[in-house]
Structures are given as structure tokens and as C-alpha cells.
Amino acid sequence: MTQPRNFDYFEERDLINREQLDALLSMLPEYCSEYILSLESRGLATSTRLGYIKDLTVFFEYLAGSCNEMKKISLKDLEGLKKIDFQEFLSKQASGRVSYSNGKKIISKSGLKAQARKLSAVKSLYKFLFDNDMIAVNNSTKVESPKISSIDSSIKRLDTDEKNEFLDAPDRGMSNQHHDQYLKNTLERDRAIISMFLATGIRVSELVGLNLEDVNLNKLCFDVQRKGGKKERLYMGQDLADILYAWLFKREAMGLPKSQQAFFISLQRNRMGVSAVEKMISKYAQAVFGKKLSPHRLRATYGTELYKITKDIYKVATALGHSSVETTRKHYADFDENQKKEIAGQVRVGH
């Protein structure tokens, strides 16, 4: 009898995304499924395609007035939309849309970034339909994306003092007896996770997907699965290796079954998920800074620090796993005030 195949973390996540994608597509017109197939043929990850469909579902629900009526939106209906219709859709997202959960009324408002993302999804669908002669008119091109200032869109990061404070957070405790007792069981793990973010710039999805076989402390390297499913080897310093070794020693003492190969484990003896890591980071941030903090901000801290050291945008892009150097340039290579002063006068007016 053939034994059932065990799925790894990324395969399980991809399967869940596909199930969600199929569920949403079942509520939308057939041409949306054709559009998603075109994205798949371009190599876009399942999570990316799911993001597009989630935003398009909001658009179709707006047009139809209810989820039950979305499937009835025809190509002729889309073709007939004017510039003002798209603008009113964005306005509705800004003012808020009403939904209900467990009998409670929920009003969801979209910020400028979310509005821009939804409009991008709509334009992408319209371009596919227009390019494939399914509609003759594409008025979505007439709508400008919401303007997002460079200040609002820049990724925040920790400065040197804040970074050092946060690295010490697990050792300092939470000034709470219950939490401090909890931290005795998670100290090495939490210190290892925070250190990995700040020392390697790893993505949270890459971190939770790590298995024991992916990490080689003797060779100071580990393998991650990047966006799109590509495997890539990253390297670490001896200081990080020592911190990870302390966690592995603690992990071994947990007496886990050999079948549990996840590198980072919860107190429930399961693989830590993205949400658990995000909550852990935010918990320490509240204790240290009195505000929330995301794993992505720690990744941004690494990217910014690496750029300041190397002054090489291509090295930073490679280290962060960015497919386009422009993504790196936009978010991590901005000049601070000191850098602006340093370069002032470098190029003279005349001889």
C-alpha cells in the first residue's frame, strides 16, 4: 500500500492558497479564471494570483452590490464602465465598505496604498481582456493611481540604538511575571528569530519555512525558498551561528519526534507560522518601544545597514532576494540627512 506523501511547509501553503483561489473564482465570471490562468503562465506565484483575485472580488462586489450577483457581471458590463465609475469605486474604498461578521457590522476603509493596489488589479484584468479582444474599450487606462508621497511609502527601520535594544529584548523580560515565566521556554528561540531577521534580512515566510536540513552551522550557511519557489543559499557570521546553536540545543531538549523537521517550533510543538512570529515580534516591540513592529521592518533595517556598509545596491538586492534592483533602490537606498551633507559640494560649480 502506498503511503501518503508528506507535504513540506511551502507545498502546504501553496495548496491552501489554491483552495482559496478556487473558492473566490467560483463566485466570479468565467473570464476571471482565464485571466488567472494567464498570470500562472507568466510564472506568478499562487499567493500573488490570490492577491489579485481578492482585490478583484472587492471590485466585482462593488459593481454587483452583493457577492451572489458577481457572477452575472458580463464583459459588456465591464466594457461600458466610464472613467467616473472607476473613480467612484476608489472613492468608495476610501470612505469605507460595510460587511458583517457574526452579526457585527464592520466598516473597512482602504488607505492610498490599498486603493492603488486594487486599481492595479482592475487595470491588469482590463488589459488582459482588451489584449485578447474580449472587450473593445478599456477606460481603466484613463484613471490615475492615487498619489502616495515618498515619505509615506518609505519603509521604516530601526536605528543602531533601537536595533541593539531590540536584540536584547528577550533577555530583558517583559516586566510581567506570567510573561517572564513564558519567556524561559522561548528565550533561545526568540533571540534566534530576531537575530536572523537583523543579521540576514530573511523574509518571515522564508524563516518559518526553514527545516533542520536547510541549516548548516558548520559551513555557516542555510537554504531558503524565495518567492516563486526558487531555492537560494544564504550565509551567516559566527555570531549568528552561535545563537542558532543555542536554540538547537534547546530544541533538542524538547524531545520532538523525528518527523518534526521544522527549524522553529512553537510551545505546542508545531512549526511556527507567520502570524505567530509577527505576534512575537510585536510583543517585544510593545515592551521595548511601546509600539508595534513588523518582521518586515527588521528586514528593512538589515537592508539599510548593508547598503550603508557596502554602498552597492546590487549586493543589497542579491542579499534580499529582490528580482528587480529598482525595488531595492526605492526602499533601502534613500539618503539620510547626514549623507546629503556628506555629498554636498562634491561636484563644484566651476574650476
Based on the number of CB atoms within 10 Å of its own CB, is 105 exposed (0-12), middle (13-18) or buried (19 or more)? exposed
| 230 & 119 share domain | no
Between 172 and 49, name the one with better pLDDT.
49
Out of 129, 152, 175, pick the residue that ends a domain.
Answer: 152
In a domain, residue 256? The reply is yes
Cα dihedral 253, 259, 262, 263, rounded to 10, equals 40
Coil, helix or strand for 267?
Answer: coil
In a domain, residue 344? The reply is no
| 168 & 104 share domain | no
| 139 & 165 share domain | no
For the residues 126-135, what does the mean pLDDT come to? 95
Measuring CA to CA, how many Å separate 222 from each of 137, 140, 189, 338? 50, 45, 17, 35
Question: Which pLDDT value is given to residue 2?
Answer: 37
| 244 & 262 share domain | yes
| 277 & 232 share domain | yes
| DSSP-derived secondary structure letter, 107 | E
Task: Give this prediction's pTM.
Answer: 0.62
How many structural domains compose the chain? 2
Question: Which pLDDT value is given to residue 68?
Answer: 76
Residue 55's pLDDT band (cuts 50, 70, 90): very high
Between 260 and 175, name the one with better pLDDT.
260
* 3 state SS for 215-250: EECCCCEEEEECHHHCEEEEECCHHHHHHHHHHHHH
| 83 & 128 share domain | yes
| 115 & 232 share domain | no
Orientation angle between helical segments 177-200 and 295-310, nearest 10 degrees: 40
In a domain, residue 25? The reply is yes
Render pLDDT for 10-28 as a digit per residue (tens, 0 to 9).
Answer: 777 788 889 999 999 999 9
Q: Answer whether residue 151 shows pLDDT above 90.
A: no
| 112 & 37 share domain | yes
Give the closest residue to 169 by CA, choosing from 307, 340, 30, 286: 286
Residue 280's pLDDT band (cuts 50, 70, 90): very high
The whole domain housing 123 covers: 10-152
| 145 & 210 share domain | no
Out of 152, 186, 206, pick the residue that ends a domain.
Answer: 152
| 255 & 294 share domain | yes
Render pLDDT for 243-260 as a digit per residue (tens, 0 to 9).
Answer: 999 999 999 999 999 999
| 145 & 273 share domain | no
In a domain, residue 79? The reply is yes
In a domain, residue 179? The reply is yes
Between 8 and 295, name the one with better pLDDT.
295
| 279 & 201 share domain | yes
Measured CA to CA, the distance from residue 113 to residue 336 in angstroms comes to 24
Q: Answer whether residue 232 shows pLDDT above 70.
A: yes
Out of 152, 185, 217, pick the residue that ends a domain.
Answer: 152
In a domain, residue 265? The reply is yes
Render pLDDT for 285-324 as a digit per residue (tens, 0 to 9).
Answer: 888 888 888 898 898 888 888 888 888 788 877 777 777 7
In a domain, residue 345? The reply is no
The CATH number given to whatever domain includes residue 272 is: 1.10.443.10
